[in-house]
Amino acid sequence: MHASFVRRVGIVHPLIQAPMAGATTPALAAAVSEAGGLGSLGAGYLEPEAILAQAADTRALTRRPFGVNLFVLPDDFEPDMAAVARARARLDALMEREGIEARTQLPARWAPRFSDQLAALREARPAVASFAFGLLSPAQLRELQALGIVVVGTATTAAETRAWAELGADAVCVQGAEAGGHRGTFLHAPDEAMVGLFALLPLALRAAAECAPDMPVIAAGGIMDGRAMLAAEVLGAAASQLGTAFLGCPESAAAAAWKRDLPAAEDHRVTTIRSFSGRAARGLRNRYVEAMEGAMAELPGYPALNALTAPLRRAAAQAGRGDLLSEWCGQAAALVRDLPAAELVAVLMDEYGAAARALE
C-alpha cells in the first residue's frame, strides 16, 4: 500500500525491529534483516569502537540492509553535583537494603560523546540511521545523506514531525504514547507529548504533507502483531516499528528476569518512569520505581542518573531481580512471544496477510 520506505531501503516487509539501546544485538538485527524486515542496532549507549564492532558483527551475519540508532545529545554534560551526591546516597542505601553488593560510581564520562558516535556511524555506513531525543543539524543530515544513508528522525508530536520534515529527513518514525523505552520527545515536556498512535499518525501525516508530502511516516507504539501493523498502514504508515515484540526473542539482550516478567505485564502497571535514567521512559512499575517515587525532584537528570543507576541495573539483572531492573516495555507487552526473531517475523507477516484478506 505505502511501498515507498520498503522500496527505498531495499527490504521485503514493512516491518522494522526497533533499535533498543541495551537490548538489541547483532544477532537480533541480522536475523530480522535476513527474514526480510529491517533489523536495527540501538547504539545510543555505545562508545564509537563498540558501534563499529556491532555493525561489523551484524554485517558478518547478513548482507541485507540494517539500521543504527543514536540519541542526539550535547557532547558534554555538567550535572548538578549536589544532585549527583544525593542520588548516590539514595541508591547506595537502596542497594544495601536490598542485599545488592554493587555501589554507585562516578563514571569517567556521563555518556559517549555524540559527535564521536556520529563519526563512527558514518564510518559504519549502515543503510539506515535513525535518531531520537533531538534534531540533527542540517550539515550532519547532509553528510549522512551524501553517503547514501537513509535518515529517519523520531517524533512524538505533529510539531516534531514537521521539524524533521523541514530539515529534510528521509522518513520520520512517530512514537505513540504506548511505546516502550525512552520517549523521543525533544520539543516539549514529555508529559505534554503523550499522544496515542491512532491520533498521532494522521496528525503527523498532515504535518509532513505541508512541506514533504512524499516523506514516509513509520508507526511505533504498542504494535505487537500483524493486525496492528496493518491497522497502522491503513492509517497511512509506510511501515511499523516494533520494539517490545522483539524483546522476548532469544537473540535479544534483555535480562532473563525482564523476559520472564513481560508476558505477565498488566497494562495498568506499564507506566512512564524517570527514576532509572532521569528521562521519561515507559516500562514496568516495580519495587524500585515505587521506592523512588517522589524523589525525582532531588535527583539529577539524564544522562547522569542513567550512569549512576547502571551498577544497580547490572547487578539486579545478574541476580534475577526484575523488581529492581529497568524493565522497559510498551503498553501491550503482555502480548509478547518468545519466538526466535526469524520465526516472529514470519508469524507477524502471516498475521498481517490474514488481516488484509479478512478486510477484502
**Interaction between residue 21 and ligand FMN (CB under 6 A):** yes
**Cβ–Cβ under 8 Å, residues 238 and 13:** no
Question: Rounded distance, CA 13 to CA 346, Å?
Answer: 10
x/- track of binding to ligand FMN for residues 29-58 (CB under 6 A): -------------x-x--------------
Among 269, 297, 331, 340, smallest CA distance to 34 is for 340
Do residues 350 and 130 lie in contact, with contact meaning Cβ atoms separated by under 8 Å?
Answer: no
What is the spatial distance between Cα 197 and Cα 161, in angstroms, rounded to a whole number?
A: 13
**Residue count at the site for ligand FMN (CB under 6 A)?**
29
> Looking at beta carbons only, is 22 or 65 nearer to ligand FMN?
22
Query: What is the closest distance, in whole angstroms, from the C-beta atom of residue 298 to ligand FMN in the complex?
Result: 26
177, 195, 204, 329: residue in contact with ligand FMN (rule CB under 6 A):
329
Residue 311 and residue 141: Cα distance in Å, rounded? Answer: 35
- Asked if residue 110 binds ligand FMN (CB under 6 A), the reply is no
Are 314 and 102 contacting, i.e. CB atoms less than 8 angstroms apart?
A: yes
Of residues 161, 121, 163, the one with CA closest to residue 145: 121
In order of 40, 270, 298, the CA distances from 53 in angstroms are 14, 33, 38
Q: Which is nearer to ligand FMN, 83 or 246 (CB)?
A: 246
User: Which residue, 154 or 275, has its beta carbon nearer to ligand FMN?
Assistant: 154
| Interface stretch with ligand FMN, choices 4-12, 99-107, 172-180, 344-352 (CB under 6 A) | 172-180
Residue whose CB is less far from ligand FMN, 170 or 178: 178
Give the long-range contacts of residues 260-264, CB within 8 A, separation 24 or more.
260/322, 261/322, 261/327, 262/327, 262/329, 262/333, 262/334, 262/336, 263/333, 263/334, 263/336, 264/334
Q: Does 348 bind ligand FMN (CB under 6 A)?
A: no
Residue numbers 205-224 binding ligand FMN by CB under 6 A: 220-223
Contacts (CB under 6 A) with ligand FMN, residues 224-253: 241-245
The reply to whether 69 sits near ligand FMN by the rule CB under 6 A is yes
Contact residues toward ligand FMN (CB under 6 A) are: 18-21, 23, 42, 44, 69, 130, 132, 154, 175, 178-181, 184, 220-223, 241-245, 328-330
